Amino acid sequence: MNNSKLVSVLKKLDIKERRSFLTFLDSPFFNQRADLSRIGHHIVNSFETHPKLLKKKAVWEALFPDRSYNDQHLRLLMSDLFKLLENFLAVSHVLSNASLMQYQLLKAYREKDLQKQFEQTLAKARRRLDRQPLRDYGYLQNSYEVEQEYYSYLGIANRMDDAPVHRLNRLADQQFAYKKLKQSCIFLARNAILEEGNEPAILEEVISLLKEEPEQMEHTGLTVYYQLYHLMKGPAEVEHFDELLLILRRKAGFFTNEELGDIFRLLINFCIRQLNAGQTAYTQRTFELYREGIERSYLLVGGRISNFTYINIMFSGLKLQAFDWVEHFLEKYRPTLEPLQSANIYYFCLAHLRYEEGRLEEAMKLLVRFDAKHDFFLYLSAQTTLIKIYYQLGEFDPLESLLGSISVYLNRKHKIGYRKEAYKRMVSICRKLIYLRPGDEERTAQIRMEAGQIPIPSFRDWLLSRLEQTVS
């Protein structure tokens, strides 16, 4: 039973939520079956105090001590209880959303043809929307739903008014433009890595609409995504980036933390692309985005930091040689990593920190035991650093073996975008570098040219520096 859908969902609820679920079960409005209330109380109480009592037969004996065990009947009870748990989650979500509650109340009053109550609630809903700070997609969606109810209400009241139609059209255009611009920014970010294809359709019509009707840009969210789209589309200018970031910081209160997290990730993705293109002006900007995003919790989801974000913040700090800050960050945010992977990810990051500090032996020991073949970005990053360590320590036999295993790995992987060819070239150049004889100017020039074309700045710079050391 510990692995059942029911228990897996209960594990995600905090104590207060589980207690609320039991109250929900005891309410005749939501549940008229005493057996479901009993089994719900037993499972929740056992889950919190005696997990061993969650075995199927133990649950059955506690609920039906005078009856022989019936697995099918218990499964049906569990299934019905799970449906009630889903109902509880849905109801809790609605009750916690004041705008959604008002919209549903508007709908109910309209359907009951209660005109006075409808108009009072409509006025309250509009005031709430005007006074709330958020001006994100949710604001547009809630505004549209309220005005849609008003338009439907006018049909019942038999009143003629063109204004609601114009408001609805404007809100519908803004909703569509907002979603389309945001999705296009996400597409551009992904396509730069995975090369998934052409841009989404209808986007040019959205851009034309916003150019022809600049009053639409009065909505802050549209302004941010419109500028972000053009920034990512290029050609990029540092001034445009700084201007967008200034707008975002001034208007941060117009967005939820979740939305700000999405925007910051897109800006960070843009910065990384610029760095890969050799635009070093974005090194400090990338680090500042990460630092601000983590300190303001924009880059946390449910109080947790993703492995990807944790690692990228570490690399961003190392580029600026902010070693003390990076070590503090790794320790402070380690508890916010997913528990099952936290140790592996933490030691991966610590290894890179130790490498940059020049503590090669420590870094090597940490990387050798790192296991992430399921994640090609992490795997190749770890192997790249191992290549550097083996080369710098003069461990050429293990280096040859490592280069061979990386080649095999790359040949098995297909969907890793431009990085696959980049890493293949990296392996080839490393082999040439190992056997390069001092004084071989023709060979040196060829390797220098090939190394300069690698689109991974950190490894490109390392190869070029090692090449100069070899020939000097």
Residue 338 in this model has a pLDDT that exceeds 80: yes
Of 108-112, 319-323, 361-365, 412-416, the poorest mean pLDDT is in: 412-416
Residue 306 in this model has a pLDDT that exceeds 60: yes
Residue 202 in this model has a pLDDT that exceeds 80: no
d(CA 330, CA 347): 10
The answer to whether residues 186 and 203 touch, using CB atoms and an 8 Å cutoff, is: no
369 half-sphere exposure, CB direction, 13 A CA radius: 10
Strand, helix or coil for residue 158: coil
Q: What is the dihedral of CA 66, 69, 73, 78, to 10 degrees?
A: 100
Residue-level pLDDT at 298: 97
Place of tokens 């499972």: 43
How many Å separate Cα 320 from the centre of its chain? 25
Distances 173 to 25, 199, 247 between C-alpha atoms, Å: 43, 20, 23
pLDDT in tens, 449-462: 998 888 777 888 88
Domain positions in the chain are: 5-95, 100-302, 372-472
More confident residue, 47 or 33: 33
d(CA 63, CA 42): 8
The percent of residues in the chain predicted with pLDDT above 70, rounded, is 93
Question: Please, which pLDDT band fits residue 316 given cuts at 50, 70 and 90?
Answer: very high
Residue-level pLDDT at 289: 97
Question: Please, which pLDDT band fits residue 67 given cuts at 50, 70 and 90?
Answer: very high
More confident residue, 45 or 125: 125
93-101: Cβ within 8 A, 24+ apart: 98/128, 99/125, 99/128, 99/129, 99/138, 99/142, 100/142
Residue-level pLDDT at 3: 77
pLDDT in tens, 264-275: 999 999 998 888
Strand, helix or coil for residue 30: coil
Residue 261 in this model has a pLDDT that exceeds 80: yes
Q: What is the mean pLDDT of residues 247-265?
A: 94
Q: Does residue 235 have a cis peptide bond before it, meaning omega lies within 30 degrees of 0?
A: yes
Q: Name the strand (E) or helix (H) holding 445.
A: helix 441-452
d(CA 463, CA 472): 14
pLDDT in tens, 16-26: 999 999 999 99
Q: What is the mean pLDDT of residues 427-441?
A: 88
Q: What is the dihedral of CA 119, 124, 127, 133, to 10 degrees?
A: -140
pLDDT in tens, 206-237: 888 787 877 777 788 888 998 899 888 877 67
d(CA 30, CA 95): 14
Question: Please, which pLDDT band fits residue 58 given cuts at 50, 70 and 90?
Answer: confident
Residue-level pLDDT at 417: 64
Query: Both tokens of residue 219?
Result: 């909505």
DSSP state of 3: T
Q: What is the mean pLDDT of residues 111-127?
A: 96
The answer to whether residues 112 and 149 touch, using CB atoms and an 8 Å cutoff, is: no
196-200: Cβ within 8 A, 24+ apart: none
Q: What is the mean pLDDT of the chain?
A: 89
Query: Both tokens of residue 464?
Result: 């070029």
Q: What is the mean pLDDT of residues 174-202?
A: 80
Return the amino acid letter for 323.
Answer: F
Residue-level pLDDT at 159: 58
Q: List, in sequence order, the alpha helices (H) in 299-341.
A: 307-319, 323-333
